[in-house]
Copies of this chain bind each other. A is one copy, B any other.
Amino acid sequence: MQELPLKQVVLTDYFWRYYQELIKETIIPYQYDVLNDALDIEVEAERKDDYLPKGKSHALENFRITAGKTQGEHFGWFFQDSDVYKWIEATSYVLVKQRDTVLEGLVDEVINLIGSAQEEDGYLNTYFQLKYPELKYRQLYFSHELYCAGHLIEAAIAYDQATGKKELLAIALKLVGNIEQYFGEEEGKIQGADGHQEIELALGRLYEHTGEEKYLTLAAFFIEVRGKDPLFYEKEITQNIADGLTTDNPNVDLLYLQAYDQPKNQQTAQGHAVRMLYMAASMAKIANFQQDEKLLQACLAIWENITTKKMYVTGGVGSTVHGEAFTSDYDLPNDTMYCETCASIALVYFAYELYKIEPKTEYFEVIERAIYNGILSGASVDGTHFFYVNPLEVQPESCHHNPGKGHVKTQRPDWLGCACCPPNFARLIGSIGKYIYNQSEKGLWVNLFIGSQLKGEYFSIVQQTNFPYENQVKIYYEGVKQNVHIRIPKWLQNLTVTGIDDYDLNEGYLRFEAYPQMALVLTFDQPILSISSNPKVSGNMNKISIQRGPFIYCAESIDNEIDLHQYFIKTKNISKGVVSQTSEILNQTLTIEVQAKKQQSWTENVLYQYNQDVIFESKSLKLIPYHLWGNRGETEMRVWLNC
């Protein structure tokens, strides 16, 4: 299964155009200004911890200092550089649609700066260059040097694809050259991988971009070497101490790092969710290119573990803030979870790689779930506020006063000390066009209902629709004869197809043979659905969540009364809910109003009573799409509702 060049896809969609415009007009300029410390905003730590960086980004300044253009000290995380790289990547996805001299001028300037910061031998990481040059490539358990390199590579590819300009690619290749010099299975080279996976995925993409086998080989080396010697990181630390380079003697948590065994032997999702999923995505990519069956089986086992036991209904993953990590099967607390925006993005990458191996609908079900819910929620509709953590249940008082929820922000901050998510949001949502269509030897695949046009070499296809606001998608096709497969989401009902007679519905796909010039119309319902959770998930017992179309819905107290946990809805009333359009949050937002009852509060000021009757009053409950929560001030929010 092939990816199609992003250039070939033009978005005409109302819903997604909003986000494309937001990225271009607001997010990209805003993020540049933040990285440049040019805005008077509040940069918050990602959770309550006085030792975490906050107050400013300093990401571009770190490069300037390294390049000798200004004086100062490195500030921020050891992976602060990656914020800049991800911003370039996101900007490239704007430029690939439409070149822009001013914006390119800005990017070229940044690229120039990055180049000036790079060392002669290709090494590039402002944190180690400025603070600990003696520890380069010697603290891999935390250093993120190869992680940052990975993001540089991805940015370079994207910018090349968008503009044909090679300067950043040259910088990236020079860095890769440096990495090749130090890492590899040859004797004398470092037999270890970065604590935070990312280089593996980036090198896989570099192989796709350049066709050069050696990048795939290096990616595969990093996957193969991980966990091969579980003591690798311990030895590294001991050696550094013995060499007098540092006194740091941290505990290495091999589960957190997915280095307790080689990836090919891993069967479940463990540890830090973003690391786990960047790794899994690269494993799938490598398994695909190298026809590595064992690696593929590991990917499928991990996929099964996540999607049947460890994924929130919003497509969020990572049940705990401690290590931003996966926990045990069916452990999905709704109020203390992590559900980092980046982790859902990484889940999309993983799903997409598996899809390219075998186009089962389950992969795009997860991609759709994550994109429309747990990822879109990562940014405010004004494009200048970002969530790191995407909770499914928020009681503001508890979040403010229970430190176990110190990471659950009730409002999207202006920016974050650890700012991995905001530019990641921009690069994923900015490249949404890449996920709509694919091509394989079996024909063309349409994965998502998004108003758009794909212009291939020998054909073009158009989706004309105001989905998700309407229940119709018109498809126009021109070009060579080929099979077309349209994924039919599980949430739709009463599908009718007009314009063609000869089609089949199989394994979630509507398949037909497209002829040189044709049009068809899909019409369907988007009923309001109640979602039950597997009874093994204790926190969702007695509760349902609501879905309509690709959107998971939530209740906010701003639309209802406080104490949302006192509302109860009857499953049988759900489908009778009333859908209305409002422009209150986002133009054309569809809200849902369902019949509910609310348990009355007690008049007695006591905590406990014996044999107490429960008294309800009739209420209606208004719901909005989950991704729009928190856009109207601090409010209670809840996805899973009592039933």
On A, residues with C-beta under 8 Å from B are 50, 251, 304, 307-309, 311, 313, 319-323, 325, 327-329, 331, 333, 336, 395, 397-398, 400-404, 406, 490-491, 529-538, 541-542, 547, 563, 565-566, 571, 574-575, 599-602, 605-612, 614, 642
Contact = CB atoms under 8 A, between A and B. Distances in A.
B320 A533 contact: no
A626 to B, nearest CB: 14
Nearest to A604: B534
Contacts of A605: 304, 308
Contact of A491 (B331, B401, B565, B610): B610
A642 B643 CA distance: 12
A642 B534 contact: no
A398 B328 contact: yes
A508 to B, nearest CB: 14
A637 to B, nearest CB: 12
A468 to B, nearest CB: 17
Contacts of A566: 535, 541
Given A308-B605, A541-B566, A531 B400 contact: no
B607 A309 contact: yes
B336 A398 contact: no
Contact of A610 (B251, B323, B402, B531): B531
A50 B599 contact: no
Nearest to A395: B538
A610 B529 contact: yes
A607 B308 contact: yes
Given A566-B541, A642-B541, A532 B321 contact: no
Contacts of A574: 611
Given A529-B611, A535-B602, A402 B565 contact: no
Contacts of A319: 402
Nearest to A533: B608
A179 to B, nearest CB: 32
- List the 7 closest pairs (A to B, CB-CB), nearest first: A322-B403, A328-B401, A538-B565, A532-B612, A327-B402, A328-B397, A529-B610
Nearest to A50: B251
Contacts of A398: 327-328, 331
Given A331-B395, A491-B610, A529-B610, 18 more contacts: A308-B606, A309-B607, A313-B607, A322-B406, A325-B403, A333-B402, A336-B404, A490-B610, A530-B611, A531-B608, A531-B610, A532-B608, A532-B610, A535-B563, A535-B600, A536-B601, A541-B566, A575-B611
Given A320-B403, A402-B331, A404-B336, A533 B607 contact: yes
A321 B105 CA distance: 52
B397 A329 contact: yes
Contacts of A531: 608-610
For the residues of A in contact with B, the DSSP-based class is loop
Contacts of A404: 320-322, 333, 336, 404
Nearest to A396: B328
Contacts of A642: 541-542
A601 to B, nearest CB: 5
Contacts of A400: 328
B402 A328 contact: yes
A530 B609 CA distance: 8
A52 to B, nearest CB: 13
Nearest to A538: B565
A483 to B, nearest CB: 29
A490 B606 CA distance: 14
Contacts of A322: 402-404, 406
Contacts of A565: 538, 541
A638 to B, nearest CB: 9
A267 to B, nearest CB: 15
Nearest to A270: B401
Nearest to A337: B404
A313 to B, nearest CB: 6
A319 B304 CA distance: 35
Nearest to A568: B542
Contacts of A328: 397-398, 400-402
Contacts of A542: 542, 642
A240 B611 CA distance: 58
A535 B331 contact: no
A529 B611 CA distance: 6
Nearest to A572: B611
A28 to B, nearest CB: 35
17 contacts: A309-B607, A319-B402, A321-B404, A327-B402, A331-B395, A336-B404, A529-B610, A531-B608, A531-B609, A532-B610, A532-B611, A532-B612, A534-B606, A536-B563, A541-B565, A542-B542, A571-B611
A629 to B, nearest CB: 17
A608 B403 contact: no
Query: Which of A530, A534, A606, A608 has the most chain B CB within a 10 Å cutoff?
Result: A608
Contacts of A333: 402, 404
Contact of A307 (B397, B403, B575, B607): B607
B601 A311 contact: no
Given A536-B601, A602-B534, A401 B607 contact: no
B607 A320 contact: no
Given A323-B403, A565-B538, A610 B533 contact: no
A507 to B, nearest CB: 16
A249 B557 CA distance: 42
A344 to B, nearest CB: 15
A642 B331 CA distance: 18
